Structure 1
Amino acid sequence: MSEGRKNRRQKQDKKKLVLPFVSADKKRQKPKKNETNRKSTTKTKKPKGPGLSKVTKISIAVLTLMVIAVIAGGVFFLKQYGQVITTAVDAGQQQAKSIQESDFKQFRPTTILDVNGNTLKELKTQERDYLSYKDIDPLVSEALISIEDRRFYEHHGVDTQGLITVGLNAALGRGVRGASTITQQLVKNIYLTPEVSISRKVEEMVMAQALEQKFSKEQILEYYLNNVYFGNGAYGINAASRVYFGKSINDTTLLEKAVLVGITNNPGMYDPVSNKENAMKRGKTILNEMLNQGYITNADFEKATNDDFTASIHSEALDNDLGDNEIALAVDSATKILMEQQDFRFQYQFDSAEEEERYNQEYLDAYNKVYQRILSGGYEIQTKIDPTIHQQMQDILTRVMESWPNMDPEKNIYSKQAAMTVIDNATGSVVASIGGRGEEGNTYNRAFLSYRQPGSAIKPLVSYAPAYGRGLLETSTVSDDRPNNNYPNNIYMGSRGNLTLRNALAMSSNVVAYKLAMDNQAELQEPVYQPLAQMQFTGLDVADDNPIIAVGGMTYGATTQEMASGIATLVNQGNYRMPTNIQSIKRKDNDQEIFNLNDSPQRKVYSEDAAYLTLDTMKAVHQDEDGTATDTNLAHNQYWAIKTGTTDEAKDLWTVGATPHYTVAVWAGDDTPQPQDNASVGKATRQIFQEAMDLLNEGKEDVDFQMPASVTNQDGQLVTRSSQAKQVLATRQSALAATTQNIDGLAKTKANELIAEKLNSPTVSEASSFSTQLLADRIQTLSQFELIVTDNQDNWKTFDQYAQQVWALVQNVEPAGGTLSNQYTSVYRNKEAQYAQEKAALTADVDRINNDIKTTEDQSKQLDQQIEDLKKELNIRSSGSSGSSSSRTTPSSSSEAEEGD
């Protein structure tokens, strides 16, 4: 054994011997009294002096203040976070009960099964790359300990000094980061989401201590080194060594080992391929720590720091190819399901760009962690994948797109691409996810990974369904005129005047969709994109709270999977279901089912009548003579909905729609957005939609979408409960206002008749002969005039006419002004102020009526929800009584306001 290695072993053995605790459940032994302070048996006399020096007094004062500050901080901490800590401790203890070795060593491959139970894919990484502690060069764990947790062998999962630091930081408002031990990091990597909070930190600490009770220090090091993420898809240090250096970790140099260990702090910043300078600096920092802590000799240090390394990506080192579109979707869905079970808080709308950036990083960290667990093995994923249907859908898309044979010379795939998602409306599951044209090497699944501007295809979800929820009907009219240049242009570059909502969607009026979105935002008092956020559209941005998204002008865009799930929500009477091709997930180590699609909750996004009216309106897109899809016909269905979409310069082309049985969303365009020929590429999306629907619906019953009880057909017009409630309220409010105005108006008219008689009574023709008393009487009579201000009557002009007559008389008597002039001016100004006040009150009444209408509509929505809740409760009770039970990618384009259909 070399001298350096011998020193390292002695230091490690020494650290093991001086552990302050024998085990976590045994108390520390206090020293016996006769063994305390045995430094000397001879008493030493204290030197006499005048007392404490000034410096000593200052030191004691400072120390006292520090102690008081620590105590005050502790009191504040407990007061502020006491209940949070208690809850977190309970949660950590509960989670700790389920900790087992198989959580870290999944040698059973993850198996993905098709709809018939046949194995589609086995995923495994640890079987080849996993190394036990005794098989890993000790330098690796020593490098890790030196930089991440120098007191690793002295604590029991939690570093006391680190705990104090965290407490003080929290009390001082500096957050709760830092001071994590290797054991805590392992807990966070395997069991917890990357959320930064007091509760999560406490939960992490509780579980770390439980982990150290169950496993030895060597096992913890082994689990950590085999599970931590090293970037570029490599989990575990042996896999990382193969990816970056093309060899096992035990065959690397000391510098390469240090560089690899350094990656774990920040895989992007310390990537040895793309950021070699940072990686080298971090590696030398670790080497310096290893020297200072006695793990390596000066000679080892000098040799390693003078060494160099060459890193590159060896992609063949990882053998879990997820090129198959359906399998890629299954693993992605399983990852998100397990993230949710780990209490990751998914977020789809943000108050600021900073909040969005922070969330995106937390999401990426959590996603990568869970994704690796699935790849490492241990799960059985039962899917709804039907290889036959998938191949049929792929064949349709591939064949229709054959008209564009040009290849991208860099990627060696077709320049013009397409994607399609198919959802079974009976279950809400994805039965086909077609991510490209199917050529060799084209493994990127655009169906759920690629955000594209949706154009007019988004109108039913953002503009029309919310408008119908407000009580509008298909026959409601909206002007197609552009009030100013802030409004988008129509594809026909003009106005068609007042359009019914049915006509407007058929011809895809951008102005009407924009106006509806504005009204939805104002009346519902919620973001324009609220329905999309409820349906988990992942490409939403802070800037998307803008009516322009109603014509497709989103910051990032949407995927075909999101668009399909949105239309499927309409078919499912406004209830959103998570789009996935997974039926169930089991853990192989205990055969426990941890997810079943049948138990997945649904979320109410639109009212039943709003959803139905939207689908009925979408029928006009292929039924009306000026609809944008009149060239599309289905062979087996007469009841179906469709919407086309075209963005600025036709860079993205869409066709989305549904029959009662299936929903299909199709996109076509270039991976890097380029102008397209709308006539040919747009027609291709409709052809793919048509052929897919014909194949899927063959043999299915030709039925209409289910009409809810809240919708009735009155003389050929569909009327909803929301519209009826709005109409009844408006009628009652108008009748009440009219009656009140009529009574008030009659009384005021009668009074004014009497005043008019007095003002028009025979008088001396010459104003100069009027007495002062007579004019004062006329002014007093004028003050008694009753103003009438209603929505259909206004007598201010009559009053003003009489007033001018009186003023003419006053001026003849008092040409230079005087008492009569002042009396007249006072009366006139009072009447003028009264008139302005009553006009303002009339406007306020109109606003109040509108607010009452909204309140009634909200109450109607609440009633709908209560009915739905009662239905669910009845279903649950019925099920219980019968005894049955069952166990982000880079955006493809910037915001583009739509000018197409």
Structure 2
Amino acid sequence: MAKRQERHQRKKENKEKVSRVKTPRGKLAKSTKISLSILAAILLLVIAGSIFFFQKYGKEVTAAIDAGEEHAAKIQESDFKQYHPTTILDKNGQVIKELKTQERDYLTYDKMDPLVSQALTSIEDKRFYEHHGVDTQGLLTVALNAATGRGVRGASTITQQLVKNIYLTPEVSISRKIEEMVMAQSLEKKFTKHQILEYYLNNVYFGHGAYGINAAAKVYFGKSINDTSLLEKATLVGITNNPGIFDPTTNKKNALKRAKLILKEMNAQGYITKEQYDKAVKDDFNAEVHSNALNNQLDNNEVALAVDSTTKILMGQQDFRFQYQFDTKEEEDRYNEEYTTAYNKVYQRILSGGYQISTNIDPGLHDQLQGILSNVMNSWQDRGGENNFYTKQAALTVIDNQTGDVVASVGGRGEEGNHYNRAFLSYRQPGSAIKPLVSYAPAYERGLLESSAVSDDRPNNTYPNNVYNGSKGNLTLRNALAISSNVVAYKLASENRDELKEPIYQPLAQMQFTGLDVADDNPIIAVGGMTYGATTQEMASGIATLVNQGNYRTPLNIQTIKRKDNGQEIFTQNDLAQQKVYSDDAAYLTIDTMKAVHQNADGTAAGLSLAHNQYWAVKTGTTDEAKDLWTVGATPYYTVAVWAGDDTPQPQDNASVGQATKEIFKQTMDLLNNGKEDVDFQMPSSVQKAGGQLVTRSSQTKQVLATRKNALQTATASIDTLAKQKANELTAAKLNTPMVEEASTFSNQLISERIDTLSQFELIVTDTQDNWQTFDQYAQQVFALVQQVEPSGGTLSDQYTNVYRNKEAEYAHEKAARDSAINTVKDQIDDTKNQSKDLDKRINDLKKQLEEKD
């Protein structure tokens, strides 16, 4: 350190000497002129570039500066010193988990070996002691990278990195870079250089759950940072650049190479002697993860969800832009990388301490639901894999429909050591369980009703196929969902996209389904053919959205989040806003349609009943080869989603495993709804009963529009017919003009004009009018004239023949169109009669049932 300070002093003295040298007056040297010219050119370029930059990014820059100053005003020392472990409280305020995931052993600057901070500054920020938070020389790197299309990268000082680690998400943009720079300069005004180094080295992430360099030394080398060798110190500092690439346990070669680069810089900058350098580069290390140094195992499903939810909440507070649908695969991949980086950073900070997370977790209820799932799945005892866990697994999510809270998150069968929460982490193909969300609710948005009929005939010879391998003809939407027609769901999804002019997965994106892919804008997802799939939590929140009149609420088990250092409440559940995904009537109609799945004799959940509810909705789901089995549904009080299958998808016995999901669903609902009043789902004012069926505002609007459209078409057709009639009157007047009896008095030109006039005749073919015979009479008159002039045929005969044949073809086409329209109307009348008979039958059956009850 002394050598470096001496070198800085010599540089300063040399500058002073140079400034005292007097330049001779008179003409400037040629080299000086050239230098000044170049400087002038550069200055002009800089000015021009600045003008362009501020024209393009001026507003963005101003907003970023304001945001940076706003965040900077809130910076406090306790942000970097979180001595208190994060605690998770249950619904009664009792501590159910205290996260002691790292032995922080916070080291102040004066107690840390100076070689550690020297290693850091030598490789990460050579001008650390010279700048004020932002390296103005390094900004040229940022400009060059931006100009060459390599993004806004480079020139991050240690102070800026600290700001980014603690306060900002890793978004790469001009506004974020400026915000970071403003905050860094503010940080340098509040704290000394030594404090900043102290904060950085105690907060940066080193991988394997280690936050801070002292924790990292214990994780990788089993000792304190001050007890490590010079090579080990350089190795640990090297990790901060990229914990994955420079992990000394999995990528020793990379870690060693970077460590030696750091040592070389330390020697070159005078921090270590040549002897120290030579000794260190010849040294070696043995790194391994010491699991006893950290305890970051979240072995409670509910706690794991709470930490995940908290992570996403804090990411949002750091202005991370969540995204659920993408235009290109490249955009999707880029987002996933940014998301993972931001998530891991915030997640590790939560584990490292400083927060009190109050939840609605009910440990007793969780144990009861875990018991239901484990007992039902107890029939399958096969185990496998490295950890010898059960091969066949299941997951369960329960949502309170009144609040939107996740009441329970059961992520597996609960065997010892298996802590993976499949309920919110495992993406599985949802099969037919997704149909209400992507096919039926949007169809009801378009104005269709439960009684609307759709053909069950396959649209092509490839897909989709029904599980019953055939077609059941025209099906009402209610019947189609009850028997789970894949064909109808596929057709509805396709029509929804065409008519609503939005991607098929649009409602899923609005409900924050995180496994969506650009390829999922395909009607095949209506039968569960998604690229990645969905979780039980996402499926439950989707159905809960239907119960909540189409309003989506983010599924959380978090009530409040507080900072422990100052008691500040940084989140409350009231902060969350609902998002309208479906109209009230579309949501209600979908829920009502789902009742048919268990009410209809041929429904896929026929025979399933709940002990305390008669008003409930359900949908089953089965994927190809029954690799994933689902039962999702709701009462007015709770929504439950159940999945079962193998962690590595394998064909299942649908009869047994599918029945298991229904049994878990039933027992869960019976437990949750016991003691609650048996009430129906709330019907919105936009839905009414008329003519024995539910009619919605959407359907009435569509009917009005259809009536207006038909009236307009009828009026247009009438006007068109009148115009044709007027045109024909003029044509007839020409054709009926007196003729000289002798054909010889007619010139070919006059007859040709008669043929042209004939071609102008307008054919009228409707269900009430047909003027072909009138046309034919005129045609015979003209033909007689042609025969007199050209008895053996000729030019006029050919001209006449072409006109007549064209009119003949036009008439045939118009007649076929009319007949087709008439047949369609007849079919609609027949369908209506059949539906009416079916409705009468159901009314009679209902009357009989009521009479039997009486």
* TM-score, structure 1 normalization: 0.84
- Contact persistence 1:74–1:168 (CA under 8 A): no
- Contact persistence 1:452–1:558 (CA under 8 A): yes
What whole-Å deviation, never above 9, does each CA across 1:634-691 have from its counterpart, x for those lacking one? 0100010000111111111111000000000000011111111111001000000000
How far the C-alpha of 1:77 sits from its partner, in A, is 2.0
Q: Tell me the equivalent position of 1:237.
A: 213
AA aligned opposite 2:638: Y
AA aligned opposite 1:428: G
How far the C-alpha of 1:250 sits from its partner, in A, is 2.1
Deviates more, 1:820-829 or 1:320-329: 820-829
**2:75 equivalent to 1:99:** yes
Cα distance change, pair 45–95 in 1 and its aligned pair in 2 (3 A): closer
**2:618 equivalent to 1:612:** no
**2:504 equivalent to 1:528:** yes
Distance in 2 separating the partners of 1:692 and 1:564: 14
Distance in 1 separating the partners of 2:642 and 2:39: 71
How far the C-alpha of 1:184 sits from its partner, in A, is 0.2
The answer for unaligned runs of 5 or more in structure 1 is 1-7, 21-30, 843-901
Alignment counterpart, residue 694 of structure 2, candidates 695, 698, 718 = 718
Distance in 1 separating the partners of 2:21 and 2:275: 46
- Contact persistence 1:454–1:645 (CA under 8 A): yes
How far the C-alpha of 1:376 sits from its partner, in A, is 2.0
- Contact persistence 1:107–1:126 (CA under 8 A): no
**2:296 equivalent to 1:335:** no
Cα distance change, pair 430–794 in 1 and its aligned pair in 2 (3 A): farther
- Contact persistence 2:129–2:193 (CA under 8 A): yes
**2:396 equivalent to 1:420:** yes
Alignment counterpart, residue 614 of structure 2, candidates 638, 643, 647 = 638
**2:493 equivalent to 1:517:** yes
**2:170 equivalent to 1:200:** no
AA aligned opposite 2:432: S
How far the C-alpha of 1:242 sits from its partner, in A, is 2.2
Distance in 2 separating the partners of 1:287 and 1:511: 67
- Contact persistence 2:616–2:633 (CA under 8 A): yes
Cα distance change, pair 176–751 in 1 and its aligned pair in 2 (3 A): closer
**2:486 equivalent to 1:477:** no
**2:251 equivalent to 1:267:** no
Cα distance change, pair 17–416 in 1 and its aligned pair in 2 (3 A): farther
Distance in 1 separating the partners of 2:582 and 2:172: 34
Distance in 2 separating the partners of 1:544 and 1:588: 43
Distance in 1 separating the partners of 2:11 and 2:594: 73
**2:199 equivalent to 1:227:** no
What whole-Å deviation, never above 9, does each CA across 1:550-593 have from its counterpart, x for those lacking one? 11111111000000000000000000000000111112222222
Q: Tell me the equivalent position of 1:302.
A: 278
Deviates more, 1:202-211 or 1:752-761: 752-761
Distance in 2 separating the partners of 1:381 and 1:42: 67
How far the C-alpha of 1:814 sits from its partner, in A, is 3.7
Distance in 1 separating the partners of 2:10 and 2:411: 59
* SS of residue in 2 equivalent to 1:620: helix
Deviates more, 1:651-660 or 1:310-319: 310-319
How far the C-alpha of 1:835 sits from its partner, in A, is 9.7
Distance in 2 separating the partners of 1:803 and 1:436: 84
- Contact persistence 1:487–1:514 (CA under 8 A): no
Distance in 2 separating the partners of 1:397 and 1:767: 100
* SS of residue in 1 equivalent to 2:133: coil
Distance in 1 separating the partners of 2:799 and 2:59: 72
How far the C-alpha of 1:165 sits from its partner, in A, is 3.1
The answer for unaligned runs of 5 or more in structure 2 is 819-854
Equivalent positions of 1:676-825 (< 5 A) are 676-742=652-718, 744-745=720-721, 748-749=724-725, 752=728, 775=751, 778-779=754-755, 781-788=757-764, 799=775, 803=779, 806=782, 810=786, 813-814=789-790, 820=796
What whole-Å deviation, never above 9, does each CA across 1:849-869 have from its counterpart, x for those lacking one? xxxxxxxxxxxxxxxxxxxxx
What whole-Å deviation, never above 9, does each CA across 1:38-79 have from its counterpart, x for those lacking one? 56989786999xx966x7776665554334323322232233
Cα distance change, pair 397–805 in 1 and its aligned pair in 2 (3 A): farther
Distance in 2 separating the partners of 1:791 and 1:251: 99
**2:384 equivalent to 1:408:** yes
How far the C-alpha of 1:354 sits from its partner, in A, is 1.3
Q: Tell me the equivalent position of 2:476.
A: 500
Equivalent positions of 1:59-458 (< 5 A) are 61-125=37-101, 128-170=104-146, 173-458=149-434
The higher-RCO structure (CA 8 Å, 6+ apart) is 1
Distance in 2 separating the partners of 1:510 and 1:622: 18
* SS of residue in 2 equivalent to 1:262: helix
Distance in 2 separating the partners of 1:145 and 1:782: 97
Cα distance change, pair 131–732 in 1 and its aligned pair in 2 (3 A): same
AA aligned opposite 1:462: V
* SS of residue in 1 equivalent to 2:137: helix
AA aligned opposite 1:455: G
How far the C-alpha of 1:344 sits from its partner, in A, is 0.7
Distance in 2 separating the partners of 1:695 and 1:199: 52
Deviates more, 1:527-536 or 1:581-590: 581-590
- Contact persistence 2:101–2:209 (CA under 8 A): no
The number of residue pairs the alignment matches comes to 817
AA aligned opposite 1:736: L
AA aligned opposite 1:404: W
How far the C-alpha of 1:823 sits from its partner, in A, is 7.1
Cα distance change, pair 804–571 in 1 and its aligned pair in 2 (3 A): farther
How far the C-alpha of 1:136 sits from its partner, in A, is 2.1
Q: Tell me the equivalent position of 1:623.
A: 599
Cα distance change, pair 793–386 in 1 and its aligned pair in 2 (3 A): farther
- Contact persistence 1:436–1:444 (CA under 8 A): yes
Distance in 2 separating the partners of 1:622 and 1:19: 86
Q: Tell me the equivalent position of 1:897.
A: none
Distance in 2 separating the partners of 1:811 and 1:132: 117
RMSD: 3.4
Q: Tell me the equivalent position of 1:599.
A: 575
What whole-Å deviation, never above 9, does each CA across 1:245-299 have from its counterpart, x for those lacking one? 2222222222222122111112222222222222221111111111111112222
AA aligned opposite 1:687: E
Deviates more, 1:777-786 or 1:290-299: 777-786
AA aligned opposite 2:403: T
Distance in 1 separating the partners of 2:21 and 2:702: 98
Q: Tell me the equivalent position of 2:839.
A: none
Cα distance change, pair 764–85 in 1 and its aligned pair in 2 (3 A): closer
What whole-Å deviation, never above 9, does each CA across 1:762-815 have from its counterpart, x for those lacking one? 999999998758745743652452233779877679757865874575366347
Distance in 2 separating the partners of 1:288 and 1:816: 109
Distance in 2 separating the partners of 1:802 and 1:446: 81
- What percent identity do the matched residue pairs reach? 74
- Contact persistence 1:77–1:170 (CA under 8 A): no
Q: Tell me the equivalent position of 1:461.
A: 437
Distance in 2 separating the partners of 1:680 and 1:766: 95
* SS of residue in 2 equivalent to 1:224: helix
Distance in 2 separating the partners of 1:797 and 1:561: 70
Cα distance change, pair 758–58 in 1 and its aligned pair in 2 (3 A): closer
